[in-house]
Structure 1
């Protein structure tokens, strides 16, 4: 007698979009763990988690793909000052734990001279599964980013916010870029980190739709193929997070300081307020005709990139468009308590300064990548005289 045919497992359903406070914030930062001998990456995330687990802290501290990485995140915040307060508490705790282990925590989107083949996959089922699926790409994913969640009133508003934010992906990349060096070489990119993200098959941008019902149909089609099992499998530049009621912006390199990380979150929140209160434009699918070009320009040239304005096709300096945008959102930033954050970003954009430039200038002065990393570790600690 023939065995009964196997029944295919039902495809997972898209989670219901949860309620969240509009413009609430959550910030995640992935950090490098380095030894204090030669400032190469050090596989100490398990030890760090053991020590940090004994403390009462806001937010969360969790492992990442490889064991020389660690991620810390705020809880739900409502202002830039609240974000900075929680990041400061978490940063200080991580630094104390690192000191006990004779290692250091460092920002930056890439470690400048680590060798990917020496990295160890953190022992967690999802990471092991990803390693089996993606092979060497998993170890090359030893890169470090900042993710910013912003609360949206409802599911359709989240998609509208996502596609509006997509016009400003180059701005986010250029302002946060901190990954010019890879495996001992200056890549000539301000953000080389994103080149590793683009290697993954489900990276890039979300499909264009402004209605959650249509997005749910897309999700159902992709899950039926078995390629995708949950929203975590999409490595998009911005993705909806229905379980939190947010959209998550994922293109930022981890800054060298928590002050810059909080300022970038304030920029996102201020843009979101401008979108919600003034409805300045309706995003169109044609916006994405220049999306990849603009993203490449920002990764390659940072604040010196060229920006193609999606609705007009006009070519102009990205720095000029960043400054114009910061002026547009400044009233919203002041109302949200993010005025100082916007001023800080405007000042650095005006001067052409981002973390990638600081790293290059430090290396040019010191002529030693390890010394550059040591000074970057001082930046993260917030020591006087270091970068802010």
Structure 2
């Protein structure tokens, strides 16, 4: 097997005031300090209360862990100098999007102008996982196969049950907001890399978009790197959960390449069917399971993880990620960040405390637990 399956992880964080626990804008000096420590790995995001980090290219999850841990620690250290703290969550539990300001930067100014009122609601954070696939035609071949597993990754990552102080009854409200943008959702199926280039090129030639960075599908070929970039996941408060999800992404792609070497492939299901699982993951997280289209039944996430782990065991062993893949089974059993946030919210409410602020304190603790 020729592919190295190199790994890169991007995370977006929100900044909160340690006293009020409300969102706070990143001071320019704080951003400069972070960028000085990690040149090219820390950047502002669309809103001034957001900050983005990205690991370098890594051969394995163990190497990525140390990089991401240092990045999280760096942001935390410099934020604390301004009485701020980062939280890795896809929606702040009680902040109002109307109160936020977008970062003054040419790219973000253009985005605001292009998207109009839709952009104003983008008070959301996600995580992206890049897996190195050098061959372009292979990237096109793997995209529809990997798409089948996107709902599984979303379900295991869900961290946005609250929006504007209300329980949305969704596990990932972030996706509801993001789907208001154009060129989002599950990727189309392309028969070849040439077809993908022709399709994207039609919009570029017309001047609708300047390049493929403005295509925001749940899974896309990266514009800058020879990778497949999975974008469907909520950001995870716990570092080790992020790494487990990255390991799952990497192992699935290795499995699909292993199948290809034996002249096999994962069945391509209609986007209509995969979209139903996407909705179930968005609505319920890991609580209600997903549809197994092979045997036409709804299975619990724990059972699906058992079956998937059985398929991936050879790949996880080769990649050194048995522990990370095993961790996903525990997430399926005990729940995601959305589960924990709701529990903290209910317990605080029962004690007569401010439940939203209790959730933010909980998220601060989880961000720092593995550092």
What TM-score range do you get, normalising by the shorter chain?
over 0.9
Which residue of the partner structure matches residue 356 of structure 2?
369
- Find the partner of 2:280 among 297, 317, 324: 297
- Find the partner of 1:89 among 51, 57, 70: 70
- Find the partner of 1:188 among 166, 169, 181: 169
Indicate whether 1:109 and 2:93 are aligned. Answer: no
The TM-score with structure 1 as length reference comes to 0.89
Shift of 1:242: 4.5
Shift of 1:67: 0.2
Indicate whether 1:208 and 2:192 are aligned. Answer: no
Shift of 1:331: 2.3
Shift of 1:333: 0.8
Which residue of the partner structure matches residue 230 of structure 1?
211
Which residue of the partner structure matches residue 226 of structure 2?
245
What is the alpha-carbon distance in structure 2 between the residues aligned to residue 333 and residue 125 of structure 1?
A: 42
Paired residue secondary structure (1:112): coil
Shift of 1:332: 1.1
Shift of 1:314: 3.8
The TM-score with structure 2 as length reference comes to 0.93
- Find the partner of 2:10 among 28, 31, 36: 28
Paired residue secondary structure (2:232): strand
Paired residue secondary structure (1:78): coil
Q: How does 1:341-380 map to 2 (within 5 A)?
A: 341-349=324-332, 351-367=333-349, 368-380=355-367
Q: Which structure 2 residue ranges, 5 or more long, are not aligned?
A: 350-354
Q: How does 1:1-388 map to 2 (within 5 A)?
A: 22-44=4-26, 46-55=28-37, 57=38, 60-279=41-260, 280-284=264-268, 286-311=269-294, 313-349=296-332, 351-367=333-349, 368-382=355-369
Count of aligned residue pairs for this structure pair: 362
Greater shift after overlay, 225-234 or 74-83?
225-234
Residues 35/342 of structure 1: CA separation in 2 closer, same or farther (3 Å cut): same
What is the alpha-carbon distance in structure 2 between the residues aligned to residue 374 and residue 332 of structure 1?
A: 38
What is the alpha-carbon distance in structure 2 between the residues aligned to residue 63 and residue 197 of structure 1?
A: 19
String of CA shifts for 1:332-358, please: whole Å, max 9, x gaps: 112211111011111221x24111101
Residues 70/135 of structure 1: CA separation in 2 closer, same or farther (3 Å cut): same
**8 Å CA contact 2:125, 2:235 repeated in 1:** yes
Shift of 1:326: 2.2
Shift of 1:78: 1.2
**8 Å CA contact 1:59, 1:75 repeated in 2:** no
**8 Å CA contact 1:110, 1:182 repeated in 2:** yes
Which residue of the partner structure matches residue 352 of structure 2?
none
Shift of 1:318: 4.0
Shift of 1:241: 1.2
Paired residue secondary structure (1:304): coil
Residues 58/287 of structure 1: CA separation in 2 closer, same or farther (3 Å cut): farther
Which residue of the partner structure matches residue 15 of structure 1?
none
Residues 242/116 of structure 1: CA separation in 2 closer, same or farther (3 Å cut): closer
String of CA shifts for 1:48-74, please: whole Å, max 9, x gaps: 21221332x376001110000000010
**8 Å CA contact 2:186, 2:275 repeated in 1:** no
String of CA shifts for 1:178-237, please: whole Å, max 9, x gaps: 000100001101111000111012111222113111111112222233322211111100
**8 Å CA contact 2:144, 2:189 repeated in 1:** yes
Q: Which structure 1 residue ranges, 5 or more long, are not aligned?
A: 1-19
String of CA shifts for 1:111-145, please: whole Å, max 9, x gaps: 11111111011010110111112223222112010
Which residue of the partner structure matches residue 16 of structure 1?
none
**8 Å CA contact 2:239, 2:370 repeated in 1:** no
Paired residue secondary structure (1:251): coil
Shift of 1:315: 3.5
Shift of 1:328: 1.6
